[in-house]
Amino acid sequence: MMAQDLPQLLIIHPPLSSTHIESQLSQKFHLLRAWESELPLDKFLTTYARSVQAMLCSPITRVNADLLRLLPALKLVATPAAGVNNIDLVECRQRGISVTTSGSAFSEDVADIAIGLLIDVQRKISAARSLGGKRVGIVGLGNIGSEVAKRLEAFGCVVSYNSRRKKQASPYLFYSNVHELAANTDALIICCAFTDQTRHMINKEVLSALGREGVIVNVGRGAIIDEKELVRCLVHGEIGGAGLDVFENEPHVPQELFALDNVVLSPHKAALTPESFERSNRMVIANLEAFFSNKPLVTPFNG
């Protein structure tokens, strides 16, 4: 089958695992690579406006009203990432556009990094505390948070959580309020999605509730924590330590953090393993094949 006879797939920016996934996708879809075109983006999109039904969305692609207005036939936005903070979900819903994510493709590797950061912080602070038996609160008991919880159980930790709603099947203690969760734990691990509602959810009050011995780990998104307040608390010894894989203004990292012995920093790499990328690629392809076959999407985003 000729490429032009395959279903069209719009890609505005190259995916993170560009070479591998493009090779896989090109066998099943006619790839419209906007970044390779000499045309300005709006002209390129206008050329295919009436025919493009599906788009592969890189995490750096802003899927907003301005972009979607140029794509009236679009019915699917597939992202190879777990997060959707670069996609205007309200606008997509209003236009009848489905959104799919990588599902749990990155969950295990991100959970491993979360536990690794927690161990590193616990072992580096002055008391050289152990992890076993600690009370650990998880903010966001989704795919990643659930994997973190399983690992914490193996260390004998007492796990509790905060989420948008109580998980009926979960054996862990639920707190509807993040402040109360922080007040009743020795460590907080941030695993939730970044939305308007979770921006700066971890603020001065929550950090104060965590206390001078408390540790915070963030593998979600940087802006879930009020970073200026976090830095202040760390510098003044108002919390015990932090393990951070994400930052509010990436790639900028507050300089004060580099001088602190009770802080472990990682360059937003929790999900960057060959295994995760391969799982994500398979999920993207499965969702696209389901869409073009009029079958149920494999990992639709319903948040």
Q: Say what the pLDDT of residue 28 is.
A: 93
Q: Which amino acids are annotated catalytic? A: 221, 250, 268
Both 20 and 81 in one domain: the answer is yes
Q: How many domains would you assign to the chain?
A: 2
Both 23 and 153 in one domain: the answer is no
Q: Give the CA angle between residues 45, 47, 52 to the nearest 5°.
A: 65
Both 14 and 94 in one domain: the answer is yes
Tens of pLDDT along 199-258? Answer: 999 999 999 999 999 999 999 999 999 999 999 999 999 999 999 999 999 989 999 999
Both 216 and 161 in one domain: the answer is yes
Question: From residue 15, how far is each of 42, 55, 67, 124, 254 by CA, in Å?
Answer: 20, 12, 18, 36, 28
Tell me what the mean pLDDT of segment 156-172 comes to: 95
Both 93 and 207 in one domain: the answer is no
Both 93 and 170 in one domain: the answer is no
C-alpha–C-alpha distance, residues 248 and 125, integer Å: 24
Both 203 and 280 in one domain: the answer is no
Percentage above 70 pLDDT, the chain: 94
Both 79 and 111 in one domain: the answer is no
Tell me the pTM: 0.84
Tens of pLDDT along 82-101? Answer: 888 899 999 999 999 999 99
Both 212 and 92 in one domain: the answer is no
Domain span holding position 172 = 107-265
Both 158 and 254 in one domain: the answer is yes
Q: What is the CATH number of the domain that holds 128?
A: 3.40.50.720
pLDDT band, very low/low/confident/very high, at 106 (cuts 50, 70, 90)? confident
